[in-house]
Structure formats: C-alpha cells, structure tokens
Amino acid sequence: MASATATGQRLAGRHILLGITGSIAAYKAAMLCRLWKTAGAEVQVVMTPLAKQFITPLTMATLSKRPILVEFFNPENGAWNSHVSLGEWADCYVIAPATANTLAKMATGVADNLLLTTYLSARCPVVVAPAMDLDMYAHEATQQNLRTLAARGVRIVEPGEGELASGLSGKGRMAEPEEIAEFVGQLLSEPKEEKKTLSGKRMIVTAGATIEAIDPVRFISNHSSGKMGYAIAGELASRGADVTLISGRTALPVPPGVERVDVLSAAEMYEAAVKAFDTADGAVMCAAVADYTPESVSATKLKKGDGEMCIRLRRTRDIAAELGARKGNRLLIGFALETDDEEAHAQSKLEKKNFDFIVLNSLRDAGAGFRGDTNKVTFIDRSGCEELPLLTKREVAARIADRIEGLFAR
Ligand code: PMT
C-alpha cells in the first residue's frame, strides 16, 4: 500500500463523487470518504434509496461535509439534483460498494435512481468496487456485466476473498478502503491525454472590468473579477491555441501559456483588442466594458461641496462591434450579461455585434455572473439556443472551447 502522503498529493483539490449502493459493505464507504477528505479531496456522496438502510445519510454528510443526494428532487423544496452537473463536476466517480443489482443496471443502461443517471452522464473515469456474496459474484450474469462495463472503460477494483456477511467464505468482499483510495489516487495521477486541437490558432480573450477615471482617486467600474475570461484563456491555451488575454485589473494569475496585455480603461482595451485582432483567428469578448466614461478627467482630486454633483459621461467605443465590423472569416464570440428580458437582449447583441454565438448569463440565476466560481449560461446562435446547467467557470470555458473547435472545423 502506498503512503497516505503520496495518495494525498494526488488527490488534493480533486472532486470525487462517491456512489453508495445497498450492501452491508456500505460501512466501509465511511472510511473511504474520510481517507479522501484527509487527503484534501472534495467528496460528494450519492446514495441509492436502499443504501440508506445500511449507512445513514447523516454519517456520510458529516464525513463529506456536504448534503447527501439520493432523490432526483429535494422533497422539501423541489430543487432538482442535476445528474448532469454532478457528472461534469466529478474528476472521478467511484461506486463503492457496487451491488450485483447496480452493476446489472449500469451494464444495461437502466436509469431508475440518481446514482445511475449520474453514471450515464459522467464524463470522468468511473470506478466500481463490487461487493456481494461469492455465488452472486461468480454467477455468469454478474461476470458478463462486469466484462461489459470493463469493455466500456469502467475500472474495477476486484473484491477480496474472505468471510462474507452470509457466513460463507469466498470472493466477494469489497476491497478495503485504503486499496480503493490508492487505486483512485493512481488513476487521477495518470497524465491526461491533452488534445492540442487548437494548435496554430491565434485567439484573443478580453476579461475583467474596465476602470474609467473620474479624478486621480475615484473611478467608475463594475464587479467583474476576470474569472470567466481567465478560464476561457486557460482552456484555449491548454488546447494549443496561441492566446492573448487583454485584461482589466484583476488579482488572478496568468494561465499557463497565455500572453497577457494589461489595460485599465475601455479606450485602452479597444486599442489593444483592435491591434491584436489584425493577426488573430478569433476573439472571445468576455470583459465587462464600461459603456460610458467621464467626459473629462480631473487632474486633481475633486473637492466635495455642499450640494449634489453631476459627472457628465460620454459613450465609450464598442470593442466587440468594431471587431464584428472587421471580422471577415474570423470567429467572434460575445457575452451578454442581462438582468431582464434576457434572450431578446442577447439575440439583439448577437446581430448588432456580428457574433458567431453569444454566451448569455443572467444575474437572475443563482450562481451565475460576477465573481463566483460557477456560471449558468445559454449559448445562442442563429440556429437556436443551448441552455447549460450550473457549471464551474472552468467547465463553461471547456464548453465554449468545444464550440470554437466545431466552428473552426466547419
Ligand atoms: O469576470 P467574472 O467575475 O468571472 O464575471 C464574468 C462576467 C459576468 C463578466 C461575464 O460572464 C460576462 O457576462 N461578460 C460580459 C459582460 C458585459 O459587459 O456584457 P454586455 O452585455 O454589456 O456586453 C455585450 C458584449 O459586448 C460583451 O461581449 C462585451 O465584452 C462586449 N462589449 C461591451 C461594451 C463595449 N464597450 N465593448 C465591448 O466589447
């Protein structure tokens, strides 16, 4: 067995989805969860309804520090537990213990509980740790199901031999938690096959908020942190694109392989974007750019008087619309941040700015928009809309990059 430290190094910060099914071995899932949490991983537990008879949701929620998911909907408030988001969140989905019944359902695509629908939606590696009586395990039906799953890429942590809950002795005991944790640690440390699908493409990404000075002390700006734009720049660079990130002031580190151009005002962002677009193959306009700027900037700090103050503002230039006018056969992707009549506003920006598609996010959706690590977006192009579930900004960036790849391949 490898040391806990070695496993920890591999698991720190990783997202593990732990599926628990109705087996006496469910008690071992508690130890497994604890090992992963100690190693710094985030663990989300999904249980089948029967699993609750073997280990309480309270135990697993306490150990994982997250509410346990069992049903498709939360019966208290009707909130939907999205199996798609869970499958996308996870770096690895581990079903331990996996009963003969669940393995059979997985092999045949039955989707009658949240654990199974999540399996069908998972894009990450899936690991199963079978647990059952020796005859059930040896039965040709179970063995056939395991072969089917293995052929589809599901990794199997073989059960051990020994005394079973039935009192019989043989092969069927779920592997020990340390063994499963080590297996998952190894799996997650395997280098990911990097797809350099955007090699040779030069992309611009604008990100963050612009700052419009009023005087040497004060300015007009907005809440953009740059997280969404930086995630896109990082994703495009990881796929081999040559990325210029034109960034307002943020505290974020430059993603690996990205060249950053720092700007402050909308006018500076305009100059940098128009210049870089000359030699680019495409641009993603994620920055929150001021539409208005003070008509004049005071050279000295404005003194307060007794009465009210008016600052006269003038329009800034629309960077995206300018690139849209010069676009030719380059790609141009825009964002729309809305608070009302979202789709209509986004449609109108799609046309006015000549975008290939627009990414709509609404401040009415929980977890969407400024500052957080998640976003809820809808892609809109001239053929229709694709609404995505709440995802991390990293996942949204990957979906945008997938679309960009598709557009380049046309
Ligand atoms: O940075 P985060 O905290 O992660 O937040 C992300 C975000 C909410 C800022 C991002 O997801 C987002 O929605 N960005 C666009 C915000 C915006 O200003 O939207 P808009 O609807 O006002 O602008 C429409 C499009 O025109 C955008 O692509 C914008 O970059 C572009 N624009 C707008 C004005 C202008 N003068 N020049 C532009 O290029």
Same domain, 48 and 168: yes
Q: How many C-beta neighbours within 10 Å does residue 301 have?
A: 11
Which CATH number covers residue 286?
3.40.50.10300
Give the residue whose CA is nearest to atom 24 of ligand 1. Answer: 336
Q: Is there a domain that residue 193 lies in? A: no
Q: What is the pLDDT of residue 1?
A: 40
Q: Which of 289, 318, 348, 394 gets mutated to test ligand 1 (max ligand atoms within 8 A of its CB)?
A: 289
pLDDT of residue 8: 53
Are residues 161 and 170 in contact, defined by beta-carbon separation less than 8 angstroms? yes
Rounded (5°) CA angle 141-147-152: 130
Tokens of 182: 């080590």
Q: Could you tell me which of 291, 345, 281, 278 has the C-alpha nearest to residue 318? A: 291
Instruction: Looking at the CA of residue 316, tell me the nearest atom of ligand 1.
Output: 36
Based on the fold, state whether residues 309 and 214 are members of the same structural domain.
yes
Phi, psi for 171 (deg, rounded to 5) = -90, 130
Measured between alpha carbons, how far is 343 from 340 in angstroms, rounded to an integer?
9
- Asked if 132 and 142 count as a contact pair (C-beta separation under 8 A), the reply is yes
Domain identity same for 171 and 247:
no
Q: Between the CA of residue 299 and those of 215, 218, 303, 305, 309, what are the distances in Å?
A: 6, 11, 12, 18, 17
Give CA torsion, residues 337, 339, 342, 345, to 10 deg.
-70
What does the block give as tokens for 203?
Answer: 């992309």
Element (H, E) at 234: helix 227-238
Report helix angle 27-38 to 177-189, nearest 10.
Answer: 40
* Residue 228 Cβ contacting ligand 1 at under 6 Å: yes
Distance, in Å, from the CA atom of 366 to the CA atom of 135, rounded to the nearest integer, reads: 49
Task: Say how far residue 39 (Cα) sits from the centre of its chain.
Answer: 21
Among 131, 159, 187, residue at a domain's last position: 187
369 in contact with ligand 1, CB cutoff 6 A: yes
**Number of C-beta neighbours around residue 14 at 10 A:** 19
Distance CA 265, CA 286 (A): 15
pLDDT of residue 335: 98
| Same-domain status, 181 and 211 | no
Residues in the chain: 410
State both tokens at 400. Answer: 């945008």
Does residue 197 form part of some domain?
no
Instruction: Name the domain boundary from 129, 164, 187.
Output: 187
Q: Identify whether the C-beta of residue 91 lies closer than 8 Å to the C-beta of residue 39.
A: no
Q: Quick one: 78 and 212 in the same domain?
A: no
Indicate whether 227 and 109 sit together in one domain.
no
Domain that holds residue 331: 202-294+305-408
Q: 221: buried, middle or exposed (CB in 10 Å: 19+, 13-18, 0-12)?
A: middle
What is the total count of domains within the chain?
A: 2
- Whether the model clears a pTM of 0.75, i.e. scores above it, the answer is no
Per-residue pLDDT at 389: 86
Q: Is 396 in the pocket of ligand 1 (CB under 6 A)?
A: no
Q: Final residue of a domain: which of 154, 187, 220?
A: 187
- Say whether both 129 and 235 belong to one domain: no
Closest C-alpha to ligand 1, atom 16: 288
Report residues of the chain scoring pLDDT below 50. Answer: 1-6
| Residue 177, preceding peptide bond in cis (omega within 30° of 0) | no
Q: Give the rounded distance of the alpha carbon of 249 from its chain centre.
A: 24
- Please indicate whether residue 370, judged by its CB atom, sits closer than 6 Å to ligand 1: yes
210 and 183 in a common domain: no
